[in-house]
Homo-oligomer: A and B are copies of this chain.
Amino acid sequence: MRPREQARADTIERIKGLAREQLHSVGPSELSLRGIARDLGLVSSAVYRYVESRDQLLTLLIADGYDRLGSAVEAAEAAVDRTDFRGRLLTAGRAIRAWAIDHPFEYALLFGSPVPGYAAPAEVTVPPAQRTPLVLVGLLVDAHAAGAVDVDRARPLDRSLRDDVGTVGLDLVLDVPAPVLATGVLVWIHLFGAVSFELFGHLHNVIDDKAGWFDHQLEVLADLLGLPPARRARGSRAARPAR
């Protein structure tokens, strides 16, 4: 990278960082380019050298956020024994929650209320957004291939849902039965729901041991798939045994 290119990339990173900081105190639709320019020590119009508009900056932040979440989850899950499917699910789930707690405002940007009047361009946000669910899909495929999924336990699907879920499976060239894939989608939705519920404050005065509660839910979800009890991998943190 040539020096000018490098400097340019650095400045864009600084802009994104300052924007992320702004999200601590204002909502996504109130991001202030003038504020960023001020923090950067530049005149307001200068930011337009780096960013087309406020909306484009939002798009950048969203794509970035999905990527950061995705790589955190991928890294955590990759460190688990490949045949310990329950452990892989628990670890992935905990990684999502940990990232959300570390980056609550970025999490809210990705999974909270949509910004009125703004729609992220799908081409640029969809691929990074798929990284995290793909970790779950990978786990499911491996577990099913190893016979570690209780196929009979999954509730059968109506026709229209079979088709919907089947399409997802086709796109990804999977040979996981549709009902199992559907349970996987349900698991993914629950992970998202549980993290949002906690982060958005709805667990206040209901449950204090939030980490324990999250783990409990993960175990229930793993049971739902019929994944066998986690094995204790050498050198890794002990996962609590199922039941």
Contact surface of A with B, Cβ cutoff 8 Å: 23-30, 105, 108-109, 111-117, 126, 155-158, 160-161, 164-165, 168, 182-183, 185-186, 189-190, 192-194, 196-197, 200-202, 205-209, 212-213, 216-217, 219-220, 223-224, 240, 243
Contact of A207 with B165 in the complex, beta carbons under 8 Å:
yes
Contact of A156 with B243 in the complex, beta carbons under 8 Å:
yes
Task: Chain B residues near A26: list those with CB within 8 A.
Answer: 29, 116-117
Given B126, B200, B213, which contacts A114 in the complex, CB threshold below 8 Å? B200
Given B27, B185, B190, which contacts A206 in the complex, CB threshold below 8 Å? B185
Task: Chain B residues near A183: list those with CB within 8 A.
Answer: 220
Contact of A161 with B207 in the complex, beta carbons under 8 Å:
yes
- Given the known interface contacts A108-B114, A115-B27, the answer about A189 and B200 at a Cβ–Cβ threshold of 8 Å is no
Task: Chain B residues near A220: list those with CB within 8 A.
Answer: 155, 183, 186, 224
- Per assembly, the copies of the chain total 2
Contact of B116 with A164 in the complex, beta carbons under 8 Å:
no
Given B109, B116, B196, B209, which contacts A23 in the complex, CB threshold below 8 Å? B116
Contact of B111 with A200 in the complex, beta carbons under 8 Å:
yes
A127 to B103, CA, bound (A): 30
* Least distance between A108 CB and chain B CB atoms (Å): 4
A189 to B187, CA, bound (A): 12
- Given the known interface contacts A165-B207, A193-B194, the answer about A158 and B116 at a Cβ–Cβ threshold of 8 Å is no
Contact of A164 with B213 in the complex, beta carbons under 8 Å:
yes
* Least distance between A35 CB and chain B CB atoms (Å): 14
* Least distance between A172 CB and chain B CB atoms (Å): 11
- Given the known interface contacts A113-B108, A219-B155, the answer about A189 and B185 at a Cβ–Cβ threshold of 8 Å is no
A105 to B113, CA, bound (A): 9
* Least distance between A169 CB and chain B CB atoms (Å): 11
Contact of B111 with A116 in the complex, beta carbons under 8 Å:
no
Beta-carbon nearest neighbor of A197 in chain B:
B189
A109 to B85, CA, bound (A): 37
A130 to B164, CA, bound (A): 35
Beta-carbon nearest neighbor of A191 in chain B:
B193
Contact of B213 with A161 in the complex, beta carbons under 8 Å:
yes
